[in-house]
A and B are shown apart, each in its own frame.
Chain A
Amino acid sequence: MIAYLLFIRLKGYFLGLKNPMNIGLTLLAVIIAWLYGWALAGIINKAYLGDMGSTTPQSVINFSLVAIVGFVMLRMIFPRYKPQRQYLPKFYPLSRFQHYLLSVVSDLTKPLMVGIALFISICCMYLYDSKITFLLLELSTLITAQLLRRLVQYGLDYRKKSLGNALFVISWVIPALLMVNYTFSFQYIRILSLFLPLYLFTIGYFLELTILENRKSQMAGGTKNSNLYLKLLINNPKARLILFFGIGFKSFLLVGDFYMFRSKGKHMFDGQLVYWIFASPLLLFTYVFNNVWGFWKEIWLNYELRTGSYKEMTHFVSRLLVLPVLVDALITLPLLLLTWDLSRFILLFYVVSLLFLIAFSFLWSLLFPMSVITSFQMRGNSSFVSSMVSMVAVVFLSLLKLNYWFYILIPFYLFLSYMAYHYSQDFYRGKKYNLYNKLQKG
């Protein structure tokens, strides 16, 4: 069955070549894979010869591994969220394992995966040294990334038995531990990268066994809006693009800072005040959540027309914030904790700034609403005042790092946050007309 599927896939690639457009796209993909493969091989070879200063071949390879994982994971949500596909209906006379195997193999033969595999193979061809090790390492990382993506989607797309939910949580423990190990030291990476796909494949199979029903019937037939917040984020092109850009930009800076610290022992901006703007979840708010109703006007309108309850509106936004904040925290906190010896400061700074930004975002969204027409507007997606105040507040909070005396700021910030929420609640009845008027213009 699997061989037949592979044959169908292969046939599909060639059948597609009857269309001149597909020929062009395939050629373009091959050229791009060749070009990037050749370029990466060139960099690694240079590093072997010692022409790249302190950059070692291993660090370049590690970078390519991270890029492959990142690329495969991002493809899941960009340009739009792609749910995990069921290749064959359940009534096909195959065992659960055969179904699972078929699904995994199908995923691994997708055009994107073939393209990346081609890139890896071409790069391998041009390498001077360690060709087989490189090939095995990169291919196993590619498979790992795809299996990791499946693991994420087991959490997002399916309703599972309670055992499945527990298994899902447990399944992340080992990849997380390995990730920590990977970050601390690369010495076991080769063994681990061979072990990880096997682990993910096995855990994926057990997760598959715990699925109660497939995603589509759950989404359509169920009354549980388990994916409501995710859909609101992913299916809103304006918010999705700008959040993706913001988190991507921040990750790029923090990963850059991480490598800079490892190689030179120094932080970007010398770790001074500006640095902490990027360490806080500020971008989520200045990009989107300081004008939350501009992005999700209909949510506000539904609550206003149906209950008029400001509390319910803000609770909804708080739940909508969970996923972006979680992603932000998962990227930011490990990187900060690994490069700074200031865990108490970092955790307090992050949590307090988050609470402050959330509370004030309700106020800003009410006081300075703006209609959002495109992701990147010349006048911005949230007001200048809200962005400036949020930025200054975050910078000011980073003073905690300088002296313990500044910890007195924490109760002050918490008090301000409480007051901001309290006043936004009071202002709501008077300000909602302006809110409706401004959003109508969108």
Chain B
Amino acid sequence: MIQITDLTKSYGKFKILDKLNLTIDAGQVYGLLGKNGAGKTTLINLILDLIEKDSGSIQVFDTDHRQLEKSAKRRIGVVNEDLALIEEISGYEFLSFVGKIYKIPSETLKKRINDLFAYFFEDPADLKKNIAKYSTGMKKKIAFCAAVIHTPDLLVLDEPFSGLDPFVANQMITFLKKYHRNDRAILISSHDLSYVEKVSTHIGVLDNHQLVFNSTLGNFTENGANELDAALLGLLKPNESEIEKIDWV
């Protein structure tokens, strides 16, 4: 589904990604982990062709990501950092708008919107509220609904769980587990390790402009011998000696 070869990206003097290689195949739920500023969002924006790469290649559905046709773009579902929500209209109208872009037949669209709302939103009145009045969590939920409404083959989710309460985050995980199929791939960038662990089949860890780990979840946790956060901390090695210097706390 996604094949990245020698991808390099800098912002001025600051190198973000350096000759990064990554392959995500159908059937994988790929959890992308890393510190703040490691380049997770940059990598996702590069895949989505929102920012320009310096060098390397990104193939999506075996096609250069810049040359994707409309039909191929329609096979991708996205929750990116901006959420891309039109705040002037209601949640229902936004999903209708997205559904029309994807040319989903109106009866199917109506059913999908109603099903998604029934699952994710407790109060049916939320349907009619303008998105500008939504809380952060509600905005995340509606962005997620817009990402899956056309049942894409590739789902790219940038921090989908941030701002969600544990109940809704678990709802989303349950949905993703149901959504996961052998002919679909999901890429999730997240800080919420416990959630990533529940849904991912593969893990990638970004650090020092590179993927320092890229394998199955089982390999990452040594088949459950380690907790995910312990495995991650072992890999990223936070500088704990610095805490000794803070003697004023």
Name the one of A235, A303, A306 contacting B132, with C-beta atoms under 8 angstroms: A235
Query: A225 CB to closest chain B CB, in angstroms?
Result: 6
- B interface SS class: mixed
> Is the beta-carbon distance between B128 and A216 smaller than 8 angstroms?
yes
> Is the CB of B52 closer than 8 A to any CB of chain A?
yes
> Is the CB of B191 closer than 8 A to any CB of chain A?
no
> Is the CB of B80 closer than 8 A to any CB of chain A?
yes
> Is the beta-carbon distance between A305 and B48 smaller than 8 angstroms?
yes
The complex places the Cα of A232 from the Cα of B97 at a distance, in Å, of 12
Taking CB atoms, residues of chain B closer than 8 Å to A228 are 89, 93, 97
Name the one of B78, B80, B93 contacting A225, with C-beta atoms under 8 angstroms: B93
Taking CB atoms, residues of chain A closer than 8 Å to B51 are 433, 436-437
> Is the beta-carbon distance between A307 and B73 smaller than 8 angstroms?
yes
> Is the beta-carbon distance between A298 and B86 smaller than 8 angstroms?
yes
Of all chain B residues, the one with the shortest Cβ separation from A235 is B88
Taking CB atoms, residues of chain B closer than 8 Å to A305 are 48, 50, 73, 76, 78, 80, 84
> Is the CB of B110 closer than 8 A to any CB of chain A?
yes
With known contacts A220-B92, A433-B51, A433-B52, A307–B101 Cβ distance under 8 A: yes
> Is the beta-carbon distance between B50 and A436 smaller than 8 angstroms?
yes
A288-303 interface with B by 8 A CB criterion: 296-299, 301-303
Query: B139 CB to closest chain A CB, in angstroms?
Result: 12
With known contacts A232-B86, A299-B86, A312–B101 Cβ distance under 8 A: yes
Taking CB atoms, residues of chain B closer than 8 Å to A436 are 50-51
The complex places the Cα of A433 from the Cα of B65 at a distance, in Å, of 14
> Is the beta-carbon distance between B88 and A231 smaller than 8 angstroms?
yes
> Is the beta-carbon distance between A236 and B88 smaller than 8 angstroms?
yes
The complex places the Cα of A216 from the Cα of B129 at a distance, in Å, of 11
Of all chain B residues, the one with the shortest Cβ separation from A216 is B128
Of all chain A residues, the one with the shortest Cβ separation from B88 is A235
Taking CB atoms, residues of chain A closer than 8 Å to B68 are 308
The complex places the Cα of A433 from the Cα of B130 at a distance, in Å, of 29
Query: B142 CB to closest chain A CB, in angstroms?
Result: 12
The complex places the Cα of A220 from the Cα of B90 at a distance, in Å, of 8
Query: A243 CB to closest chain B CB, in angstroms?
Result: 14
> Is the CB of A153 closer than 8 A to any CB of chain B?
no
The complex places the Cα of A304 from the Cα of B66 at a distance, in Å, of 12
Of all chain A residues, the one with the shortest Cβ separation from B129 is A220
With known contacts A225-B93, A309-B70, A429-B66, A220–B128 Cβ distance under 8 A: yes
> Is the beta-carbon distance between A298 and B84 smaller than 8 angstroms?
yes
A-B contact pairs, 24 of them (CB 8 A): A219-B90, A221-B92, A223-B96, A225-B96, A228-B89, A228-B97, A231-B93, A235-B87, A235-B132, A236-B88, A296-B86, A298-B87, A299-B86, A301-B84, A305-B48, A305-B73, A305-B76, A305-B84, A307-B73, A307-B74, A307-B101, A312-B101, A432-B50, A433-B50
Please list the residues of chain B having a beta carbon within 8 angstroms of any beta carbon in chain A: 48-52, 66, 68, 70, 73-74, 76, 78, 80, 82, 84-90, 92-93, 96-102, 106, 109-110, 113, 127-128, 130, 132
